[in-house]
Amino acid sequence: MSFQTSAGETLDSPTDWLDPDKAIEERIEGILQQLTLEEKAALCHAQGKFSSPGVPRLGIPELWYSDGPHGVRAEINWNNWGYAGWTSDSCTAFPALTCLAASFDPSLALEYGRAIGQEARYRKKDVLLGPGVNIYRTPLNGRNFEYLGEDPCLAAAMVAPYVQGVQENGVAACVKHYALNNQETDRGHIMVEVSQRALHEIYLPAFKAAAQAGAWSFMGAYNQYNGEHCCHNDLLINQILKGRWGWDGVLITDWGGAHDTRQAVFNGLDIEMGTYTNGLTSESAFGYNDYYLADPFLKGIKDGSYPIELLNDKVRRILRLMLRTTLAPRRPLGSFATEAHARTAREIAAAGIVLLKNDKKLLPLSPGLRKIAVIGENATRNLMQGGGSSELKPWRSVTPLQALGLRYPDAEIVYAQGYDSGKAMYSQEGVPTHDPARLHEQAVQAARDAELVIFVGGLNKNHRQDCEAADRKSYELPFGQPELIRDLALVNPRIVVVLLSGNAVESSWAAQVPAIVQGWYGGSEAGNALVDVLSGDVCPSGKLPFSFPEKLGDNAAMSFGSLSYPGDGKRQVYMEDILVGYRWHDTRKIPAAWPFGHGLSYTSFSLGKARLDKKTCQAGEQLTVSVPVSNTGKCRGAQVIQLYVSQPKASVPRPAKELKAFSKIWLDPGESRTVEITVPVDCFAYYDETRQDWHLEAGEYLLRVGTSSTEIHTSLKVSVQ
């Protein structure tokens, strides 16, 4: 069988490229030979809001995408941003990635990826738009809840198994937002200025880990860097991602992230999605053939403006993605909204919960409680709604109030809303039904009469809280919560404050309450997971993946003025350079309210003397640190052993300490084991801007073993030759 292209050439249509026994690269070349220029160009841009074309003539199916770092989003209409109204797209909502990061458990990241990949596969999605690995730079960033914290080592360790778990299902992970998308304010155009050293040491390692883990696709960021938008950025994509890292995947725009045909052609963009929209709502009358990589690209190929080799490289990458996903010969079937997935979500949510404070051992809760006052809007709110593209339609949603009722059926549980995050509502008589002062008074009265108070507050997915497209306006808890917490504590000192958020919050009220829990956004099983920890059914083991500054000005990015954050509307300068998060707090000796890596337990642990397997080493070698750990308490629990590295006498400025490895260990009461942590000596290197490469400097290094960035138990010296 043969056919004639619009250019007059005659091509055969053999199907031997379908043979699953042939190598992928051989099959790619077989398909490439059969494609017309028009078919090739069509592969490079969208045909709908969440779909890009296949090749119908050859039976190659289209690609389907879904938002979903925390769950597979409900179906969106073909050509607008409205929901399609399906009744079969209620998913399992998994915890937000800040919660996963707080688990400090890469094995849970693998299970997370597997479960969400199964859901995406069942829903016939080929590309899952996540995970996000942008670094937590400031607590005002509206999308911090979607990311894996402030430390590149932690983010890298967690993203690799997540990616592998998703892709076991024949679904591509799409790692985002590459790169330097660390705020929502002016995200579509802001020009980020950052040193090459900070770029490579802080902002790229998690992306590199994802690429090395075999991620099949990346999503470009909206912002600009080095004079170009990140979705078609020569340095980031051609030179680093596809060049130095040797990555063979597909670079996809964020929706509306392309701005220029020539840059898109030459600077590494492969698939263009969402152009002429703002990524969320509005769109113009332009059609899909008007995209930068559509008719303008095809015209440039035909008139010789653009080399055919660049088109073929994009098409090879897209075909490789298809052969890994929609054309994979033995692709799993997936599963959707199962009890097994609910159990996974619950386990991860509980593992990420961080016990910040537990004076007077108020937690775990006494099993004989008779009257509990539950106060706060977040005790009953669906926190999967809102937030932008991460919004989910869960098939089940268990709130903290519901879960407490199930766990303590014999207790009298009194609920008071306490505060309201929306506009006041009025009755027909004009009387406020959600009057803030009245809600406050009712909550204080409920607390006064209770045996125990559980306040469930924090942030939510409202605009300018934890939400896409806008940053937070304030570091404080909103809606009068600080004043409410203080008043509750005055009438009842037995109070547990539960913060549900994806961001750090100001906590000047903390001294007045005995117990504080950081509960994150826990997904479908958030309530059950929270009560698992509050009740003691699960011993808390989460650690903070980012620092909580005492006040906003103590954060590195915020301490240099508006040009550092949020910029002047056109550009911003990362003036803190490599001193992000705890690197800033510890190096500048600015104590955090709650430091990176902090998290308490219901049991107690002792760390014995750490030992190092060698005292001298050189590049290419590995070091092993052995740490005896004992559970000296009364319940089974987990401790995260954290290994930080310092270089006291360096030729360049270096942080006081940098996390280089960690290990989470579960122990029964009275049990002791030795934790062995192995690190490559090469990870001690810094990025040398003169060499434009990593440089391992000879000299003495300190390996600091601890349980947070400020709780260091042992320091070991090693000499790098």
pLDDT of 285 above 80: no
- Note whether residue 333 is domain-resident: no
pLDDT of 2 above 90: no
Please give the full DSSP string across 569-606, using - where no structure is assigned. SSEEE-TTTT--THHHHHHTT--EEE-TT--B-SS-EE
> What is the Cα–Cα distance from 138 to 183, expressed in whole angstroms?
8
- With residues binned 3-state (H G I as helix, E B as strand, rest as coil), the percentages for the chain, rounded to 5, are 30, 20, 50
Kind and range of the H or E run holding 515: strand 515-518
Please give the full DSSP string across 593-652, using - where no structure is assigned. EE-TT--B-SS-EEE---EES-SEE-TT-EEEEEEEEEE-SSS-EEEEEEEEEE-SS-SS
Q: How confident is the model at residue 415 (pLDDT cuts 50, 70, 90)?
A: very high
- From 664, 655, 717, select the one nearest 198 (Cα to Cα): 655
> What is the Cα–Cα distance from 153 to 237, expressed in whole angstroms?
22
Q: How many separate helices (H) and strands (E) can be counted in the chain?
A: 16, 31
> Mean pLDDT lowest for which of 122-126, 181-185, 460-464, 640-644?
460-464
Residues 644 and 497 in one domain: no
- Note whether residue 358 is domain-resident: yes
> What is the Cα–Cα distance from 261 to 291, expressed in whole angstroms?
8
Q: Which of 528, 546, 564 is the last residue of a domain?
A: 546
Report the CATH number that the domain containing residue 450 is assigned in CATH. Answer: 3.40.50.1700
Q: How confident is the model at residue 69 (pLDDT cuts 50, 70, 90)?
A: confident
- Note whether residue 178 is domain-resident: yes
For the chain, what is the domain count?
4
Position 589, amino acid: K
Instruction: Provide the 10 A C-beta neighbour count for residue 432.
Output: 14
In three-state secondary structure terms, 67 is strand
Distances, alpha carbon 544 to alpha carbons 148, 360, 533, 640, in Å: 11, 22, 16, 11
* pLDDT score of 81: 86
* pLDDT score of 281: 61
* pLDDT score of 500: 98
> What is the Cα–Cα distance from 406 to 419, expressed in whole angstroms?
24
pLDDT of 179 above 50: yes
pLDDT of 269 above 60: yes
Q: Which of 530, 546, 562 is the last residue of a domain?
A: 546
User: Would residue 254 show up in a list of annotated catalytic residues for this protein?
Assistant: yes
* pLDDT score of 5: 47
Distances, alpha carbon 307 to alpha carbons 299, 302, 311, 543, in Å: 12, 9, 7, 51
Mean per-residue pLDDT, 485-493:
98
- From 94, 91, 230, 108, select the one nearest 159 (Cα to Cα): 108
Average pLDDT, the chain: 94
Q: Identify the domain containing residue 596 by its residue range.
A: 550-602
Q: How confident is the model at residue 100 (pLDDT cuts 50, 70, 90)?
A: very high
* Residue 662, strand partner residues: 642
What is the per-residue burial (b if ≥16 Cβ within 10 Å, else e) of 12-32?
Answer: eeeeebeeeeeeeeebbebbe
> What is the Cα–Cα distance from 95 to 69, expressed in whole angstroms?
9
Residues 528 and 640 in one domain: no
Position 26, amino acid: E
- Note whether residue 344 is domain-resident: no
- How much of the chain exceeds pLDDT 70, in percent? 95
On whether the CB atoms of residues 234 and 253 are closer than 8 A, the answer is: no
Residues 294 and 363 in one domain: no
Q: Is the omega angle on the peptide bond into residue 450 within 30 degrees of 0, that is, cis?
A: no
> Mean pLDDT lowest for which of 9-13, 384-388, 415-419, 498-502?
9-13
In three-state secondary structure terms, 65 is strand
> What is the Cα–Cα distance from 359 to 466, expressed in whole angstroms?
29
- Note whether residue 1 is domain-resident: no
Residue with tokens 């990140």, as numbered in its chain: 230
Q: Which alpha helices (H) appear in 269-307, and where do they start and end?
A: 295-302
How does pLDDT run across 154-174, given as a tens digit for each residue? 999 999 999 999 999 999 999
Kind and range of the H or E run holding 322: helix 308-324
- Note whether residue 24 is domain-resident: no
Residues 130 and 85 in one domain: yes
State phi, psi for 626 to the nearest 5 degrees. Answer: -110, 130
Residues 115 and 202 in one domain: yes
Mean per-residue pLDDT, 623-647:
98
How does pLDDT run across 538-588, given as a tens digit for each residue? 999 999 999 999 999 999 999 999 999 999 999 999 999 999 999 999 999
Residues 508 and 643 in one domain: no
Q: Which two tokens stand for residue 403?
A: 């879960």
Mean per-residue pLDDT, 403-414:
96
pLDDT of 433 above 80: no
Residues 315 and 432 in one domain: no
- Note whether residue 331 is domain-resident: no
Residues 585 and 616 in one domain: no
Q: Which of 573, 602, 631 is the last residue of a domain?
A: 602
Report the CATH number that the domain containing residue 194 is assigned in CATH. Answer: 3.20.20.300
Q: What is the pTM of this model?
A: 0.95
Residues 568 and 474 in one domain: no
- From 641, 648, 656, 549, select the one nearest 599 (Cα to Cα): 641
Mean per-residue pLDDT, 428-438:
71
In three-state secondary structure terms, 529 is helix
In three-state secondary structure terms, 469 is coil
C-alpha triplet 417, 402, 452: angle, nearest 5°: 60
Residues 486 and 472 in one domain: yes
- Note whether residue 140 is domain-resident: yes
Greatest alpha-carbon span in the chain: 86
Q: Which residue among the candidates 105, 254, 420, 487 is catalytic per the annotation?
A: 254
* pLDDT score of 12: 52
Mean per-residue pLDDT, 362-370:
94
Position 322, amino acid: M
652: Cβ contacts below 8 Å, ≥ 6 apart: 686, 688
- Identify the residue with better confidence: 50 or 423: 50
On whether the CB atoms of residues 96 and 502 are closer than 8 A, the answer is: yes
Residues 269 and 383 in one domain: no
Burial of 275 by CB count in 10 Å (0-12 exposed, 13-18 middle, 19+ buried)? Answer: buried
Q: Which two tokens stand for residue 432?
A: 């406020």
Q: How confident is the model at residue 426 (pLDDT cuts 50, 70, 90)?
A: very low
> What is the Cα–Cα distance from 658 to 589, expressed in whole angstroms?
15
State phi, psi for 447 to the nearest 5 degrees. Answer: -70, -35
* pLDDT score of 6: 41
Q: Which alpha helices (H) appear in 172-277, and where do they start and end?
A: 196-198, 205-212, 261-266
Q: Which two tokens stand for residue 502?
A: 């994806």
> What is the Cα–Cα distance from 510 to 592, expressed in whole angstroms?
13
- How much of the chain exceeds pLDDT 90, in percent? 90
Report the CATH number that the domain containing residue 656 is assigned in CATH. Answer: 2.60.40.10
pLDDT of 330 above 70: yes
Distances, alpha carbon 267 to alpha carbons 235, 241, 245, in Å: 8, 11, 16
- From 23, 337, 328, 332, select the one nearest 168 (Cα to Cα): 332
* pLDDT score of 282: 62
Residues 405 and 528 in one domain: yes
Position 161, amino acid: P
